[in-house]
Structure 1
Amino acid sequence: MKAVLYIGHGSRNSSSNEEFHAFIQEVKPHINAAIQEVGFLENASPSISEAVAACVEKGASELFVMPVLLLAGIHGKEDIPKEIAKMKERYPHMLFRYGRELGADPLAAKILAERVQEKNFSEHNSKKALLLVGHGSRIKESERQLSELSNLLKAELNSQHVFPCFLKESSPGYQEELHNVVESGYETIYTIPHLLFTGIFTKRIKELAEGASADVIHCEPLGFHPRLAELLVKRTKGEFGN
């Protein structure tokens, strides 16, 4: 019997984990699998091992593991695969398959464009810049993905003034890019967090923008938008094969 396991990062904030569960509930009816479970990499229950055990107890013989992550990173490329490797040893009879992060997709660009439009963005002149801010990772593929996503966002907004940047580890850095666009003469700057949650990272984006000699407008993060559920369904169906 086929099963799907959706893996989230996990948070010490229980409301964030509940939000993740609610989001997956929107996805489940669209996936043709009798067994669908949620697991977390850290900070929350059930753990990946607990979620795999639940699938086995329900009769799963084939498990598709879907990382619900926005861009390529250490969690998706190393941490989750290490956990899956342990589960393969524990359940040698089980066939495991592993999906890929959501990445750059037109549906994600549409959500980001909506977040900007919520702040009454209009492209009347070239004095407005948009900073698409990702978390950042040692995995260089994340830089390529965010760059591709920024190009999709340009098309959605009909603007050539979208600049990808990161809070940590990847290049260019957010603070550096903020300085660059101010120095280039942009008078209004929109920050668009390519993140699932508000919290420490969205707070950091605002803190680093304090004192900038431009009008900085902070958009809501990508978040668990209905179109993101549509994207997760699309990605899961495409790789799960239903």
Structure 2
Amino acid sequence: MQAVLYISHGSRVKESVAEADAFLRCCMKGIASPIQQICYLELVQPDIHKGIDTCVRLGATQVIVQPLLLLSAGHAKRDIPREIRRAQARYPQITFKMGLPFGVDERIVDVLVKRLTESNVLIGPKDVVLLVGRGSSDPEIAESFALICRMMKLRGFQNIAVCYLAATKPTLQDALMQFHARLPKGRLFLLPYLLFPGLLKRIIDKAINDIGGGSNLVLCQSLGFHPILCQLLRNKVQGMIEDDSFF
């Protein structure tokens, strides 16, 4: 019997966990799998270990492990594969396969554009769009954001910059000081490249407050619960289910 185990990030902010759960349960409605469970990378139970145990207890013989992550970094390359290897040792009779994060995708860039236009403020030639990423020491993250910036420029947003909340530079604080000070006639649009930011939203709010905010700074919504993202995740999982060679 087939199972899909979705791995959400987890957060100390209950509202963020609930939002991610609601997103995943919406995605589940379009997935043809008899067993579908949610677990978490950190801070929330059940963890991956317990999530896999539940799938097996419910009768799973094949488990698709699908992370709810935007880009490939430490969680996707090390943490989750390590847990799958441990599960394989516990359950040698079970077949495990891991799905990929969303990755860089034109349709996700479309969602970014929608988040910018939701502000109801027209973006002019003197304005700057600052993409705010979670951050990672993995060099692939910087490469991914460079590609995202190129896609944004093709959509007419020429003044694009990137900063990060952790692990690498430029930091959000450095970028805010750099751009906020030099935009007397333009505006700075902060565009979080995050799904359900949780405590990270508080970090962004504090950084804005520390520089005094101002009418020339516009904070956009994160990617969040969007139908395009839901369909992308469904497509990923359903494609693995229908691919007989996958297992």
The separation in 2 between residues aligned to 1:113 and 1:49, in whole angstroms, is 37
Residues 84-233 of structure 1 aligned to structure 2 (within 5 Å): 84-123=84-123, 125-156=124-155, 158-182=156-180, 185=183, 187-209=186-208, 210-211=211-212, 215-233=216-234
Q: Show CA shifts across 1:196-233 (max 9, x none).
A: 23443223223323247881111111112222111211
Q: Show CA shifts across 1:87-135 (max 9, x none).
A: 1111000111111111211221122111111112424x42110001001
TM-score, structure 1 normalization: 0.89
Q: Which amino acid aligns with 1:148?
A: L
The separation in 2 between residues aligned to 1:161 and 1:121, in whole angstroms, is 16
Give ranges in structure 1 of 5+ residues lacking alignment: none
Q: Which amino acid aligns with 1:128?
A: D
Q: Which amino acid aligns with 1:227?
A: I
Higher relative contact order (CA 8 A, sep 6+): 2
The separation in 2 between residues aligned to 1:33 and 1:172, in whole angstroms, is 42
Equivalent pair of 2:12/2:198 in contact (CA under 8 Å): no
Give ranges in structure 2 of 5+ residues lacking alignment: none
The separation in 1 between residues aligned to 2:2 and 2:103, in whole angstroms, is 25
Q: Percent identity among equivalent residues?
A: 33
Partner of 2:42: 42
The separation in 1 between residues aligned to 2:15 and 2:214, in whole angstroms, is 36
What is the CA-CA distance between 1:70 and the residue it aligns to?
Answer: 1.4
Equivalent pair of 1:182/1:213 in contact (CA under 8 Å): no
Equivalent pair of 1:187/1:214 in contact (CA under 8 Å): no
Equivalent pair of 2:9/2:40 in contact (CA under 8 Å): yes
Cα RMSD (Å) = 2.2
SS of the residue corresponding to residue 176 of structure 2 reads helix
Partner of 1:7: 7
- Kindly tell me: are residues 41 and 182 of structure 1, through their superposed partners in 2, closer, same or farther at Cα, counting changes over 3 Å? closer
The separation in 1 between residues aligned to 2:181 and 2:16, in whole angstroms, is 37
Q: Which amino acid aligns with 2:145?
A: L
